């Protein structure tokens, strides 16, 4: 498979280059941007998890999916961004060989996991809208928890195939990764010898875990649209379409750019510069985790109601404190 001298010296570490055309004077600005992006993503998603844990009224199948997605988004950002931030802040882009393989595994793991979570989300909406009477009996909290745990376990299988392939490949030449993190697309050019067979296996696995769920998602949304069009009230149709449009936007951002990035090597006329490829990858990888908690919080009635009650309680406490201070001051005034 690989025509390489058996006595080759294995690369011991890789170096994350990031954007190859970026000038050094912009490094600090880029580092601050990704730092702000990381903090906002983690805080937003963990806030959603905390609200779910504290509020028993939210412990429903739909919110279990949302919490699973929030944890997955937090995990992906934590795996991908800190080393990229260090690269531009302290010029520290080095990664040990096994650390790079671990990052590659986790990057594809969370990508596969998100695809399965979006599939579960589409299944939940399909059952809720197309079979509203059966939904409470079929989709219980126990069922959704089981599906969620299944997704978290199975996702390791698909990313593991790629990781095992790269662990057996010879890396004996350049060690600079022209990317923001270690993944299949960035590691393949660094393999010594013919890596086409290994890349095809990784590509086939990625396409399977991405587009088999996408096929079911499209099918479920077609069924949902047909069911919604049969609703009697216009208000019910608009409410359902609004919910589906939000999820459809997130799904489009997640899937469509991935197709172009992964398909570029197979279409000679479809070329992307390293900077464009990195920017596209970061867009579809980091933008959904950033906006997911805000979209679902702002468009979910129960969560908005909880935040209104929290704001009202805070305002009431502030007013009571002010009144208490004024009363104390009046008592101290000599009469």
What is the distance in angstroms between the CA of the first residue and the CA of the last residue of the chain?
98
Say if 2 falls within a structural domain: no
Say if 247 falls within a structural domain: yes
What does the pLDDT read at residue 1?
Answer: 44
The DSSP letter of residue 203 is H
What does the pLDDT read at residue 151?
Answer: 93
Say if 333 falls within a structural domain: no
Mean pLDDT, range 229-239, rounded to an integer = 67
**pLDDT at residue 70 tops 70:** yes
Tens digit of pLDDT for each residue in 172-190?
878 888 888 988 888 888 8
Confidence of residue 53 (pLDDT cuts 50, 70, 90): confident
What does the pLDDT read at residue 202?
Answer: 74
Say if 38 falls within a structural domain: yes
What does the pLDDT read at residue 152?
Answer: 95
- Which residues are within 8 A (CB) of 157 and not within 5 positions of it... i.e. 6 or more apart? none
Say if 307 falls within a structural domain: no
Say if 289 falls within a structural domain: yes
What does the pLDDT read at residue 333?
Answer: 55
- Side-chain-side CA neighbours of 6 within 13 Å: the count stands at 0
> How open is the CA angle 147-149-152, to the nearest 5 degrees?
110
Q: What is the DSSP code string of 56-86? A: GGG-SHHHHHHHHHHHHHHHHHHHHHHHHHH
Output the average pLDDT for the chain: 80
> How many CB atoms within 10 Å of residue 323?
10
Contact of 274 with 264, CB cutoff 8 Å? no
Say if 280 falls within a structural domain: yes
DSSP helix/strand/coil, 114: helix
Q: Which domain holds residue 201?
A: 13-300
Residue 211, burial from CB neighbour count under 10 angstroms (0-12, 13-18, 19+): middle
- Which residues are within 8 A (CB) of 326 and not within 5 positions of it... i.e. 6 or more apart? none
Looking up residue 50, the CATH number of its domain turns out to be 1.20.1070.10
Tens digit of pLDDT for each residue in 278-325?
888 888 888 888 888 877 666 566 666 666 666 666 767 666 666 665
What does the pLDDT read at residue 2?
Answer: 46
More confident residue, 224 or 236: 224
Give the whole-number percent of the chain exceeding pLDDT 90: 21
What does the pLDDT read at residue 326?
Answer: 58
Task: Report pTM.
Answer: 0.83
Confidence of residue 105 (pLDDT cuts 50, 70, 90): very high
The DSSP letter of residue 181 is S
Say if 244 falls within a structural domain: yes
> How open is the CA angle 259-261-263, to the nearest 5 degrees?
65
Number of domains in the chain: 1
- Which residues are within 8 A (CB) of 48 and not within 5 positions of it... i.e. 6 or more apart? 66, 67, 70, 293, 296, 297, 303
């Amino acid at each position: 498979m690989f025509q390489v001298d058996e006595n080759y010296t294995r690369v011991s570490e890789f170096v994350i280059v990031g954007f190859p055309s970026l000038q050094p004077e912009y490094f600090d600005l880029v580092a601050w941007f990704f730092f702000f992006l990381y903090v906002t993503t983690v805080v937003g998603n963990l806030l959603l998890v905390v609200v779910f844990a504290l509020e028993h009224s939210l412990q429903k199948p739909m919110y279990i999916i949302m919490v699973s997605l929030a944890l997955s988004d937090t995990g992906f950002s934590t795996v991908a961004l800190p080393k990229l931030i260090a690269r531009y802040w302290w010029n520290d882009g080095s990664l040990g060989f096994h650390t790079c393989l671990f990052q590659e595994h986790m990057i594809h793991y969370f990508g596969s996991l998100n695809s399965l979570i979006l599939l579960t989300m589409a299944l939940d909406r399909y059952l809720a809208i197309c079979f509203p009477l059966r939904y409470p009996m079929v989709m219980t909290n126990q069922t959704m928890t089981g599906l969620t745990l299944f997704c978290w376990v199975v996702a390791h299988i698909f990313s593991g195939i790629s990781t095992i392939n790269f662990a057996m490949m010879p890396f004996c030449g350049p060690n600079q990764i022209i990317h923001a993190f270690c993944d299949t697309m960035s590691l393949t050019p660094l393999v010594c010898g013919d890596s086409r067979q290994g890349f095809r296996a990784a590509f086939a696995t990625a396409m399977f875990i991405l587009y088999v769920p996408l096929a079911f998602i499209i099918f479920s949304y077609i069924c949902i649209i047909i069911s919604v069009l049969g609703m009697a009230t216009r208000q019910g149709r608009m409410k359902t379409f609004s919910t589906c449009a939000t999820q459809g936007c997130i799904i489009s951002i997640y899937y469509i750019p991935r197709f172009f990035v992964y398909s570029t090597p197979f279409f000679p006329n479809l070329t992307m510069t390293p900077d464009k490829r990195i920017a596209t990858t970061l867009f579809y990888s980091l933008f959904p985790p950033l906006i997911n908690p805000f979209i679902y919080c702002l468009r979910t009635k129960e969560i908005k109601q909880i935040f209104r009650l929290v704001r009202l309680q805070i305002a009431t406490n502030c007013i009571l404190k002010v009144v208490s201070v004024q009363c104390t001051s009046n008592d101290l005034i000599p009469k």
